[in-house]
Structure 1
Amino acid sequence: MRSPLHILHFLSLVSALWPQPISYEHGSVVLFIKKDVQFYWYEAGARNVGSVADQHPDQQPFTFASNSNTGPNAQETLKLRKRYTESSFDDVNDWDVEEGVSGHDIIDYAIKSSWRTLFRWNLYPWKFHPRNWDEPSPQDQTTGVSEIHIRLLHADPSNVAKPLAGEVDESYILKLDEGGKATISANSSVGIARGLTSFTQLFYKHSDEKHVYTPYAPVTIHDAPKFQHRGINLDVSRNWFTVADIKRQVDALAYNKMNRFHLHVTDSQSWPLEIPALPELAAKGAYRPDLVYTPRDLKHIQRYAAIQGVEMITELDMPGHTSSIFYSQPELIAAFNIQPNWDTYCAEPPCGTLKLNSSAVDAFLDTLFDDLLPRISPYSSYFHTGGDEVNKNAYNLDDTVKSNDSAVLQPLMQKFVDRNHDRVRAAGLTPVVWEEMLLEWNVTLGSDVIVQSWQSDEAVASIVEKGYKALVGNYNYWYLDCGKGQWLDIDPSISAQQYPYYDYCAPFHNWRLAYSVDPYAGVPAENQHLVIGGEAHMWNEQTDPVNVDRMIWPRGSAVAEVLWSGPKDAEGRNRSQIDASPRLSEMRERLVLLGVGAEPIQMPYCTMDGMQCQLGYTGN
């Protein structure tokens, strides 16, 4: 019989794991894992639960100490909180009942989700081996993964599910020894969730559909994210997405170790968000009265994200991009749906902006924020007030202003932003704005405000030079809607000059371009600490539930690795696409098995035979 310590020649060409950890060492020992593997969850100061018969032999308090400079590094006496057996994973989870999310909720969900990923949605890796490869035989198994220890080294902060950037430690240490004992240690429940995600990526399904194994033991991973804010922005106003469509993106975000989900929920074209205090807003402003997100839907999505260590940031864009309000309260909107020369007054039709010097608008926003923000604050520490693409010409048609003169408009915009941000702070939230408010309108922002950039690397440098924290997302690289061609119809009179009908941000931004981004580009070293992360953006003029998955993924995964692992490798070089390509292909397969319709980046010929599809590769 062949020993499980035998160094097998069928090892995958890929060493798994996306995004790339800081430190990852692995061997070539095969270990199988069975559905009845037990998870033991320990935490500092926890009371042992269950009967003595249910407890593991090492249930007595123990001390864990890390010798790593990265990741969990405290010495704590830990006690068993909970033991999970196979029957534990059949529990009906009532996580959507309570208000808010605790660290305990996050760990419980992560353990159960990891078990399901391992045994229900795992990957048979034929695409990553040569033809007629020799996969490991379960009959050769003498040792398997026998137990998984989850070690939470510190009590979670109260805001663990809704932190400000940098307030929760997402680092973790993962170890799997040749004897089959796995440990995942972290300083927070979110770190535990990240470690469990990596654990699932070490395992593959056997062709017999009954067995699961890793070919990588022993494993030691020390890991932590480079950037504090790592997200995707999804526009759900230009096209309608069901709650299930949105949750699927959250699942993909979490599996890529992203931690922010930006929901751009209202815009000019529709207002799908129900506001009970303003019932006609969605009833008339949505595309149809039934295409709305109810308060229960909003809570469900926010909680579903938070329980996976993903904080949802809700955006109501204003004062521009608000023409959908006209359908319920036309007196609040200036320059509504100007035709045919709409491009004089807005970035895209239908035009419309909140009036800038209106007491009625002020009262409307009081009601809106008083209704909505208390339903945001249990799940997030942020609220996005928009502020992009405000066209000054629209205020020529605003009967409260009647001017497009910056000298007239700027003080009014300052007052508008100040009032909104005071409302946001009063609800215990931190404001987020688009870059134009700072860089084009010269609004003086509070020192707490996060400024989201989208137009250029130079804009990021300007934001941090002024002392503000910045989010990157240059449309030339991280706008995922670019390259599909013009969505506007072209009149024959200008058709020839528009040919071949490119959109404004063409070409299509492939994963390699997204992967090449350095969030610090052009930012002096002394200001780089203010670049707290970034987001890729999915604007949806031409995207709906049919194609949204493949539009975001796996290009969003490329962004995720830049933001988790950083743009440079350990030697300070740009990260290698040669290294990334097979790992990203594997991540794509795993996303598909999780129910996400991610598109392929290469054909199996390339991933099966290693170095067959490189261009200009010299082997160095």
Structure 2
Amino acid sequence: MAHYRLETSWHPVEGSFGRLTFTLFNLSAEPLSGFSLAYTSETRVADEHVCNGGDLKRRLAHFHEFLPHDGLSVPPGGHWRFTVEGLTREPKHATAGVKSAYLTFGDGRHVAVAFGDLMLEGRDDGVAPPLLPPGRVEEPYSLLPWPLSLGLKAGNLPNVLYPAAKTQPDAIKALCLVVELYQRLYPANNVPFSLSTVKGGRAIRFVTESSIAAFAYELRFTAHEIVLSSADAAGRQYGLISLAQLLHGARAEPEIFKFPNFGAIADQPRYDWRGCHLDVSRQFYPVADVTRLIDILAWNKLNIFHWHLTDDEAWRLEIKAYPALAEIGARRGPDEVLVPQLGDGAEPRFGHYTQDDVRRIVAHAASLHVEVVPEIDIPGHSTATLLSLPQLVDGQEAPDSYRSVQGYPNNALNPAVEFTYEFLGKVFDEMVTLFPSEYLHIGGDEVARGSWLASPLCKALMERENLAGTAELQSYFLKRIKVMLSERGRKLAGWNEVSHGGGVDRDGTLLMAWEKPAVGIELAQEGYDVVMTPGQAYYLDMAQAEAWAEPGAAWAGYAPPEHTYAYEAEGELPEAVQEKMRGIQACIWTENFVSRAYFNRLVFPRLAAVAEAAWTRLERKDWNRFAAIVRMWPVL
């Protein structure tokens, strides 16, 4: 049992964002004195606040440290209570409270503090509705995403599927890859495929058919064999995954799902870009978790893994030219350069991906026809970078001259510091050897208003280049970055704010519209290729219901799985610019994912809902069918 426990509650107050009450219980056998209390929370205390019973000693973004009044001693079994009014926003859910806590004593010791959810006072907390209905199927086949066309007749369930005689080695290898994928996702289940002929099974005959579209496949079922036709390896894999899904459902829920004996499936993806993003800066995910997520993407026929490798909270990629990025920028803790954030407690937390790790992950993804698109977030969201490499800072710029929306001071790479470009050039040089992807994502989001305006170097740059304000400085910076990427054979991808201040050359640029759906329309009309990933539908960290007890973020409202499933990004775009829409993407931001249970509760089944929206045309979608099938789908 913990020696100390922190309970927190929030009470609404008219005319403000409410009042927080903190109660620290001393469960030890000794009096508690001479300490400070540190905690991390997305509900941040504002500069202008009133604290009764204690004092704010230090705050940096989500990190807070409070002191009791002088002379306080908490006896065994006693408590210390203080309140704070003056917050940067109103909490909406129980997960908006404390994410980690610890005490620091005068001798430098840090001791963990247990804590619970943020309690709601003085208001009804609402009731969270069921997120999935029981589901109902008109056609008894477990396929997700649902195919373009299907005409099948159910029959006997084969024991297993196996390659027909004289199958080519490349098709055998493809089948082996999918059976291994299935074994990783469902290790307790019988495999769907065998490489050997099995009595009671059914043969798969592979046909290469050049008239079939790229990434498409066709399946024809007879009593004796299944013919899988495709023009390329990706289409063949998608066909094999569909066969594995059909067999999986018929075995798992035989009273609902069947395996076809006769008929055909013709299928191809709706969009080229069917993506899922993962933020590994706020929370670090080891290689095994990343590869499992990629397995889940492949099972759902998603083909892009957007890997968000850097942010204010950490830099996670080994760069041999600058080892400090991993040595300093990937560590957070009470005595580290980067203070605790978002779940870090008394013990330091660290983690980064070596270049060998990256090569393994990229190769694993490629074997499953998933492209890894890496992101280093610049020029904003760069606190970890700047603290790791102080030579990137304009030393004449006043500290805390601007703050990001998350509360980080002076967190953007300076466009007027020439070392910025030398640094990024070396980073890009190493990244292009690791990631063969067409695009390199450079972020470009949430650069704080007023960034760099107190920098003498930037003032001189603005005068020299006739630039006005932060947005035009960012455009100047990103134009140089785009040239650097082009010189290395890569195209620029970024968030929608890349378009600000004049943006960059539209040719070879892909922007992700995240703030709201209307932004995607504006970008397409400006001539950018667009991936739609609006927070209101496709951000999988958003709470799934309005109720207080439902976990997740709140800035974009809430998105139940049915809303995520039904949302049609294409429907927002005028017909004249629909060709600029490359596809859609789910985003997994990890501020709220301090446990595996929260990850799985928030990401699934919404990730599969996005996958079906990316693959399946509107007229083929069916929420009740999806709900019946997705219950059998894997989680992290």
TM-score normalised to structure 2 length:
0.67
Structure 2, unpaired ranges of 5+: 1-136, 193-197, 333-348
**How far apart are the structure 1 equivalents of 2:189 and 2:395?**
51
Pair 1:273-2:317 in alignment: yes
In structure 2, distance between residues paired with 1:388 and 1:457: 16
Cross-structure match for 1:526: 576
Residues 117/416 of structure 1: CA separation in 2 closer, same or farther (3 Å cut): closer
Equivalent residues of 2:543, 2:602 under 8 A apart: no
1:422 maps to which residue?
483
Deviation at 1:523, TM superposition (A): 1.2
* Counterpart residue type for residue 385 of structure 1: I
Q: Are the aligned partners of 2:472 and 2:502 in contact in 1 as well (CA < 8 Å)? A: no
**Cα distance between partner residues in 2 of 1:459 and 1:208:** 43
Q: Aligned-pair distance for 1:408?
A: 4.3
CA contact (8 A) 1:122 1:590 kept: no
Q: Choose which of 502, 508, 516 in structure 1 pairs with 2:558.
A: 508
Instruction: Verify: 1:175 aligned to 2:220, yes or no.
Output: yes
Query: Equivalents in 1 of 2:385, 2:304: separation in Å?
Result: 27
State whether residues 269 and 323 of structure 1, in contact with CA within 8 Å, keep that contact through their aligned partners in structure 2: yes
Aligned partners of 2:157 and 2:250 also within 8 Å? no
Find the aligned partners of 2:430 and 2:170 in 1 and give their Cα distance: 39
Which of the residues 241, 244, 253 maps onto 1:197? 241
Q: What residue number does 2:605 align with? A: 554
Q: 1:197 to 1:14 in 2, by over 3 A?
A: same
Once the 2 structures are TM-superposed, how far is the Cα of residue 499 of structure 1 from its aligned partner?
Answer: 14
In the other structure, the counterpart of 2:178 is 110
Q: Percent identity?
A: 25
Q: Give the Å deviation of 1:27.
A: 1.1
- 1:63 matched to which residue of 2? none
In structure 2, the CA distance between the partners of 1:240 and 1:111, relative to structure 1 (3 Å rule), is closer
* Equivalent of residue 356 in structure 1, options 411, 415, 432: 415
Deviation at 1:549, TM superposition (A): 3.1
1:226–1:563 CA contact under 8 A, matched in 2: yes
Cα drift, residue 310 of structure 1: 0.7
Among 246, 250, 261, the residue aligned to 2:305: 261
**Are 2:176 and 1:38 equivalent residues in the alignment?**
no
* In 2: Cα distance, 1:23 partner to 1:393 partner: 53
1:282 and 2:326 aligned: yes
CA contact (8 A) 2:140 2:258 kept: no
Q: Select which of 488, 498, 507 maps to 1:447.
A: 507
Aligned equivalent of 2:629, options 573, 583, 594? 583
Match of 1:613 in 2: none
Number of the residue aligned with 1:27: 153
Instruction: Output aligned runs, 1:394-433, within 5 Å.
Output: 394-402=451-459, 407-433=468-494
> 2:287–2:357: 8 Å Cα contact kept in structure 1?
yes
Would you tell me which structure has more strand in proportion to its own residues? 2
**What displacement does 1:459 show?**
1.1
Written as runs of structure 1 = structure 2, the 5 A alignment for 1:1-400 is: 14-34=140-160, 37-40=161-164, 56=165, 59=166, 80-81=168-169, 84=172, 109-110=177-178, 112-113=180-181, 121=189, 144-153=200-209, 169-179=214-224, 181-204=225-248, 214-287=258-331, 291-333=351-393, 345-351=403-409, 352-377=411-436, 380-400=437-457
Distance of 1:350 and 1:397 partners within structure 2: 16
1:194-251 Cα offsets, whole Å, 9 max, x none, are 1111001111489899xxx953322411000111101111100011111111111111
Shift of the 383–145 alpha-carbon distance from structure 1 to 2, 3 Å rule, reads same
Which moves more between the two structures, 534-543 or 329-338?
329-338
Task: Tell me whether 286-295 or 191-200 shows the greater mean CA deviation.
Answer: 286-295
Q: Report the Cα distance in structure 1 between the residues aligned to 2:175 and 2:259, rounded to whole angstroms.
A: 26
2:407 is matched by which residue type in structure 1? P
TM-score normalized by the length of structure 1: 0.68
Q: Which residue of 2 aligns with 1:490?
A: none
Report deviation, 1:265: 0.7
> Do 2:543 and 2:551's aligned partners in 1 also have CA atoms closer than 8 Å?
no
C-alpha contact 1:335 1:345 (8 A) present in aligned 2: no
**Preserved contact between residue 335 and residue 353 of structure 1 (Cα < 8 Å):** no
Deviations 1:292-324 (A, max 9, x none): 100011111111111111111100010000110
| Match in the other structure for 1:607 | none
Show CA shifts across 1:466-524 (max 9, x none): 222100011111111122899xxxxxxxxxxx999995425431210101211113311
Deviation at 1:107, TM superposition (A): 6.2
- C-alpha distance in 2 between matches for 1:501 and 1:552: 11
* 1:79-112 alpha-carbon deviations (Å, 9 max, x no partner): 834685xxxxxxxxxxxxxxxxxxxx76652355
Deviation string 1:2-40 (CA, Å, 9 cap, x unpaired) is xxxxxxxxx998421011101112212113224xx5325
1:321 partner SS: coil
Residues 543 and 333 (structure 1), Cα distance of their counterparts in 2 relative to 1, 3 Å cut: farther
Aligned counterparts of 1:514 and 1:200: Cα–Cα separation in 2: 26
Helix, strand or coil at the partner of 1:396: coil
The whole-number CA distance in structure 2 between the counterparts of 1:590 and 1:502 is: 22
Pairwise CA RMSD: 3.7
Cα deviation, 1:116-158, whole Å, max 9, x if unaligned, reads 779953599xxxxxxxxxxxxxxxxx984331122333599xx
- Aligned residue for 1:134? none
